[in-house]
Amino acid sequence: MSGRKRTLDIDGTGSESRVKARREEVGGGGGGGGGEAKKVDTAKMQINKYTGRPFSQKFWTILEKRKGLPVWDYYTKFMELVKVHQCVVLVGETGSGKTTQIPQWLVELSQQNQKRRVACTQPRRVAAMSVAQRVADEMDVTLGQEVGYSIRFEDCTSGKTALKYMTDGMLLREAMGDPLLEQYGVVILDEAHERTLATDILMGLLKEIMGNREDLKIVIMSATLDAGKFQAYFNDAPLLSIPGRTHPVEIFFTPEPERDYIEAAIRTVVQIHLCEEGAGDILLFLTGQEEIEESCKRIQREVDNLGPEVGSVKCIPLYSTLPPALQQRIFEPAPPTKPNGAAGRKVVVSTNIAETSLTIDGVVFVIDPGFAKQKVYNPRIRVESLLVSAVSKASAQQRAGRAGRTRPGKCFRLYTEKAYQNEMQDNTYPEILRSNLSSVVLQLKKLGIDDLVHFDFMDPPAPETLMRALELLNYLGALDDDGELTQLGAMMAEFPLDPQLSKMLIASTDYNCSNEILSITSLLSVPQVFIRPGDKKKEADEAKMRFAHIDGDHITLLNVYHAYKQNNEDPQWCYDNFISYRSVKLGDGVRDQLSRIMDRFGLRRTSTEFTSRDYYINIRKALISGFFSQIGHLERSGHYLTVKDNQVVQLHPSTCLDHKPEWVLYNEFVLTSKNYIRTCTDIKAEWMLRIAPQYYDLANFPQCEAKRQLEKIKNKLELQNQGIF
Ligand code: ADP
Ligand code: MG
């Protein structure tokens, strides 16, 4: 482990000393202790006011742990601030207890006063679910009752729910039906430093709501630094800063750049395991599911091969699409020390989730290759994609900090110190500057915010990006030429889908195939349906071909859905056919929810007669009604160009199309080493011209081969209309 040594003092104090005064009363909302101090012994006889039963043993065990959290000592100070001020900014190191404790205090407050709910937003679904479960345990109640969560397509709350963890996107969605957020007495925006798109918009909204609802309390929570910016934005809100209880972390850089960061990362894990004495778990940051699963297998194999004298490792993957039960594994203990004294280690291989959202106790070693998948948007070619990019210095510091939670730790950065100093930007750009805004603009319009240019964004998006969003919404018919929300647009906004999907779903009723488009839309809204394990690629591909439809991947998805239903939703059938049971099942749930929204608007669910030759044609036409702006044209040279934007693209290797259609509609533009279009369907130019005449107004078209083709077809169509053909 060569490299220069430096010590990083994460919180700037380097000290572990802190005020020892602790709250002695029973904890948070669960104890119902209000403010009186009680001895724990007598408290043990207390009844949980929510369940009417005595507290469980688990409650008391967790309570002991909670009392050691840094925020615990700041109860009085925080509550005083909240009582006096409408908005408070709270900053504290990851793991200090912000997300789990503060909301419980606010539930207490809210129960005393107006009895409205407390909302606590999270940028990630995983965090919302996992934290809600933890807090339900802490309060000794059943998840979904007093404490619940709400994420897109999954609502785990009830009438009783007083504390609701939710994704920031869900709260934004709720605001459309409840513009003053009247069901809430307190809104906590957690992880505000992440500056997700939805959090940024929520901040702007809350700032407007504040004036109309003086009773609403707002808490902005964050793990890092830039509190001043948030304070200023919220009219000089007071700041409570909770000193971290972090230990120093020693930082190592590599002397030379690493050619292959995954190789380097795996090597480093094995070296740490062999060379570092005593226990101490390892946290490795990688960028995505495939990479993580693969690395876990390799690390496990390499360590197992080292022989019985070497301590055991338990490799645990962590990423957002992992099923919740498997995510909980990160809280399992490390393998025991062997009789020969060789310590066992837990190795968590995670995406950015472990950077701030989830705290994993026991981590002493962090390996940071310096990359993360980040969203980028290019308004010129209208492409949003997830790209593996270098992280910012702020991210790197957060990552390093994960090593110092339990004792002094080490962070191995797989890049040079020079790269850190000169090439990495200070902070990650807020997502609003890196996103396609069509969905957000539609929601804002629905919220009645018409003047987007003067909306109080913390960082205003680029005008070109806003314009692109307005333009697309206009083509989709969601906004009229004056930028006013149309009836169609208002309906589209009610679906928790991107505008193109919601338009397609609504329009499918005109093509007599809304049942089919519902199924396709649902499966497009869940994680990958087809499974392709590294060691069974061939079998998986063969299995997929059994579902393939000649017209393309959308209808292939439909075939999967139908087969799933015909096989009685059997998990074994899914397994045998390399279909992700979890995804299709999830998709089926999504389908139910979308159907209910359709019913609410009186949108009929219909199908064309299966034996009719129009059955598939209608589906393909409906696809165009939403995705007319995502079509590629096969040029004479043999490659595809995206229509209007003229980007060279290739059909993604995963496509089941066995031919190269002249016109191909795609669901997604994937940027990797090449530009790929994924989930593709063969369509006809006549349909494009008929279904989206505004978009295919050839007078406003750049000169290109596609235009010449379309002109020919248009002329032919006109002649047909005049009865000449
Ligand atoms: P913060 O929001 O300040 O980063 P949290 O409130 O999320 O901190 O976490 C505080 C502590 O609670 C963590 O250090 C961890 O020990 C514990 N904790 C949180 N979630 C869980 C969980 N699901 N299982 C076990 N412990 C947890
Ligand atoms: Mg937190």
Q: For residues 446 and 466, what is the distance between their CA atoms, to the nearest angstrom?
A: 16
CA of 262 to the centre of ligand 1 (A): 29
Q: Is 70 in the pocket of ligand 1 (CB under 6 A)?
A: no
| Contact present, 666 and 627 (Cβ < 8 Å) | yes
Ligand 1: residue of 359, 360, 402, 406 to mutate (most ligand atoms within 8 A of CB) is 359
Index of the ligand 1 atom closest to the CA of residue 101: 6
* Nearest in space to 235 (alpha carbons), one of 212, 200, 208: 208
Q: For residues 447 and 449, what is the distance between their CA atoms, to the nearest angstrom?
A: 6
Q: pTM value?
A: 0.87
Q: Is 260 in the pocket of ligand 1 (CB under 6 A)?
A: no
For residue 634, list its beta bridge partners.
640
Q: Is 104 in the pocket of ligand 1 (CB under 6 A)?
A: no
CA of 437 to the centre of ligand 1 (A): 33
Q: Please, what's the b/e burial string for 437-455 (b: 16 or more CB within 10 A of its CB; e: otherwise)?
A: bbbbbbbbbbbebeebeeb
CA of 357 to the centre of ligand 2 (A): 5
Structure tokens given for 96: 């200090």
Q: For residues 627 and 681, what is the distance between their CA atoms, to the nearest angstrom?
A: 11
Q: Is 434 in the pocket of ligand 1 (CB under 6 A)?
A: no
Ligand nearest to the CA of 189: 2
Index of the ligand 1 atom closest to the CA of residue 93: 3
* Nearest in space to 241 (alpha carbons), one of 230, 252, 251: 230
At 241 the three-state DSSP class reads strand
pLDDT at 361: 84
Alpha helix segments (H runs only) across 525-580: 537-545, 553-566, 571-576
Q: For residues 321 and 197, what is the distance between their CA atoms, to the nearest angstrom?
A: 20
Q: For residues 109 and 683, what is the distance between their CA atoms, to the nearest angstrom?
A: 58
For residue 633, list its beta bridge partners.
641, 663
Q: Is 98 in the pocket of ligand 1 (CB under 6 A)?
A: yes
Ligand nearest to the CA of 138: 1
At 317 the three-state DSSP class reads strand
Q: In degrees, to the nearest 5, what angle opens at C-alpha 516 toward C-alphas 513 and 522? A: 135
Q: Is 69 in the pocket of ligand 1 (CB under 6 A)?
A: yes
Nearest CA to ligand 1 atom 7: 99
For residue 388, list its beta bridge partners.
373
Nearest CA to ligand 1 atom 27: 134
Per-position DSSP letters for 41-76, written without gaps between them? HHHTTPBPTTTSSBPPHHHHHHHHHHHTSGGGGGHH
CA of 4 to the centre of ligand 2 (A): 32
Ligand nearest to the CA of 190: 2
Index of the ligand 1 atom closest to the CA of residue 133: 23
CA of 491 to the centre of ligand 1 (A): 40
| Contact present, 191 and 167 (Cβ < 8 Å) | no
Index of the ligand 1 atom closest to the CA of residue 70: 3
Ligand nearest to the CA of 122: 2
Ligand 1: residue of 65, 74, 100 to mutate (most ligand atoms within 8 A of CB) is 100
Q: For residues 508 and 512, what is the distance between their CA atoms, to the nearest angstrom?
A: 6
Q: Is 97 in the pocket of ligand 1 (CB under 6 A)?
A: yes
E-strand stretches of 430-504: none
Q: For residues 351 and 124, what is the distance between their CA atoms, to the nearest angstrom?
A: 12
* Cα-Cα-Cα-Cα dihedral sign, residues 667, 529, 522, 606: positive
The backbone region for 620, taken as left when phi is positive above 0, alpha when psi lies in -120 to 50, beta otherwise, is: alpha
| Contact present, 519 and 558 (Cβ < 8 Å) | yes
Q: Is 362 in the pocket of ligand 1 (CB under 6 A)?
A: no
Q: Is 244 in the pocket of ligand 1 (CB under 6 A)?
A: no
CA of 718 to the centre of ligand 1 (A): 66
Ligand nearest to the CA of 90: 1
Q: Is 398 in the pocket of ligand 1 (CB under 6 A)?
A: no
Ligand nearest to the CA of 96: 1
Q: For residues 456 and 202, what is the distance between their CA atoms, to the nearest angstrom?
A: 11
Nearest CA to ligand 1 atom 21: 134
Ligand nearest to the CA of 192: 2
List of residues 6+ apart from 65 with CB closer than 8 A: none
List of residues 6+ apart from 551 with CB closer than 8 A: 616, 620, 681, 682
* Nearest in space to 598 (alpha carbons), one of 683, 522, 707: 522
Index of the ligand 1 atom closest to the CA of residue 134: 23
CA of 358 to the centre of ligand 2 (A): 7
Q: Is 246 in the pocket of ligand 1 (CB under 6 A)?
A: no
Low-confidence ranges of the chain (pLDDT < 50): 1-39
Phi, psi of 495 (to 5 degrees): -85, 135
Q: Is 522 in the pocket of ligand 1 (CB under 6 A)?
A: no
Nearest CA to ligand 1 atom 5: 97
Q: Is 28 in the pocket of ligand 1 (CB under 6 A)?
A: no
Residues with CB under 5 A from ligand 2 (ion): 98-99
pLDDT at 458: 94
pLDDT at 369: 97
Q: What is the pLDDT of residues 362-417, one digit of tens each?
A: 999 999 999 999 988 888 888 888 889 999 999 999 999 999 888 899 999 999 99
List of residues 6+ apart from 435 with CB closer than 8 A: 197, 375, 377, 384, 461, 465
3-state helix, strand, coil in the chain (%, to 5): 45, 20, 40
Q: For residues 122 and 126, what is the distance between their CA atoms, to the nearest angstrom?
A: 9
CA of 190 to the centre of ligand 2 (A): 7
* Nearest in space to 169 (alpha carbons), one of 184, 185, 189: 189
Type of residue found at 221:
M
Please state, in angstroms and as integers, the Cα–Cα distance from residue 362 to each residue in 66, 224, 302, 332, following that order.
16, 21, 23, 10
Q: Is 243 in the pocket of ligand 1 (CB under 6 A)?
A: no
CA of 53 to the centre of ligand 2 (A): 29
CA of 92 to the centre of ligand 2 (A): 9
| Contact present, 473 and 438 (Cβ < 8 Å) | yes
Please return the burial class of 413, using the count of CB atoms within 10 Å of its CB with bins 0-12, 13-18 and 19+.
buried
CA of 86 to the centre of ligand 2 (A): 21
Q: For residues 406 and 282, what is the distance between their CA atoms, to the nearest angstrom?
A: 12
CA of 102 to the centre of ligand 2 (A): 10
Ligand 1: residue of 65, 73, 134 to mutate (most ligand atoms within 8 A of CB) is 134
pLDDT at 358: 79
CA of 345 to the centre of ligand 2 (A): 25
Nearest CA to ligand 1 atom 6: 97
List of residues 6+ apart from 586 with CB closer than 8 A: 153, 526, 527
At 312 the three-state DSSP class reads coil
